[in-house]
Every structure is written in structure tokens, then in C-alpha cells.
Amino acid sequence: MEKIHSTTILAVLHNGKVAIGGDGQATMGNTVAKSNVKKLRKLQDGKILVGFAGSTADAFTLLDRFDEKLNAFGGNMKRAAIELAKDWRMDRYLRRLEAMMITVSKDELLVLSGTGDVLEPDNQVAAIGSGSMYAQAAAIALKKHAPQLSAEEMVKESLHIAADICIYTNHNLVIEKIE
């Protein structure tokens, strides 16, 4: 079976507002398998948003575990992320999962990986997936040179730039924000 390629997920915290977005493309080899995949989920009644890249089944497994951790730790996103990362690294089953996640709350961005990383990104910009470096570079430039834009506008424009460059990223965007 051919490996499904990643995606592009980008989160920006700017002027006290947070937005996260992702494209809708899933590919298998050099074929677009689906063009309107939703790669974002709301947790904790919309107080926490999660974007994922990688294997969808693996991402849903991690998403369920993260939700369990959030419930166990009273919605404390950072604590839940650290506990999930520990499990992800140590558990034989979870260790095999191929996905990454960005989690956001109203004032915090975190990137989680299977190597046990829980990263608080510089510049309050987080990106994962195959087009992540294009989207991240665009978002950092927009924060610096177009600070009048909203976090949502920065995410949208940056993802469109990534989609223009990365063949595994399309223009079917889903963007969520925390009010």
C-alpha cells in the first residue's frame, strides 16, 4: 500500500487572537485521493483546537488519547500534551503511529510529535506537514510586515502560498479560530 502524504496545518497567535487552518488534500503516491478532507477538530467545547498531519487513522487515535488527557487534567492543554507525548513515546502501540499534531488554545500553541516533543514555537507560529515550511515562512513574514492582518487572515494567506508551492497541499482550506 502506498503511503498517504501529509498535508499542511498552520496556526498563528497574533494580537491576542488564534487561528488554525489546514488544506483539504490527501494523496496516495502521485494521486489525489481526496480533495476536501477536514484535518481540524474542536475539543473542550471549542476551547481547544487540534490540527493533524500524517496518517488519518493514526491521527484519530492520538486525537482520542489527547481528548482523554484533557479530560483527566481539567482541560489543561500543556499538561495533557506532555502526558500524551510521554505515552506516545513509551507505549509500544502508540510509538508506531505516524502523525503530528498542533494544539491551540486562546493563548497557547503547541506542536506534538511521536518522538516525545512538545514544542512551543517561536514567533507564535506553528506548522506541520509537507507544506509546513512554506506556510510558516509566509506567516512569519506577514506577522513582521503586515501586522494589521488578523491571525485568521495570516493563516489563510500563508496556506494559499503553501498550496501554490507544495504539490501535497491544495486550496480547499478549513480555518477555525477561538473566539
| Phi/psi at 120 (5° precision) | -100, 105
The sign of the torsion formed by the CA atoms of 94, 162, 175, 19 equals positive
Closest to 40 measured CA to CA, from 51, 31, 53: 51
Closest to 79 measured CA to CA, from 87, 166, 92: 87
Closest to 9 measured CA to CA, from 158, 122, 151: 158
Active-site residue, 7 included? yes
Which position among 7, 8, 27, 169 bears the catalytic label? 7
Measure the CA dihedral 76/59/122/15, to 10°. -70
Which 3 state secondary structure label does DSSP give 36?
coil
What amino acid positions are annotated as catalytic residues?
7
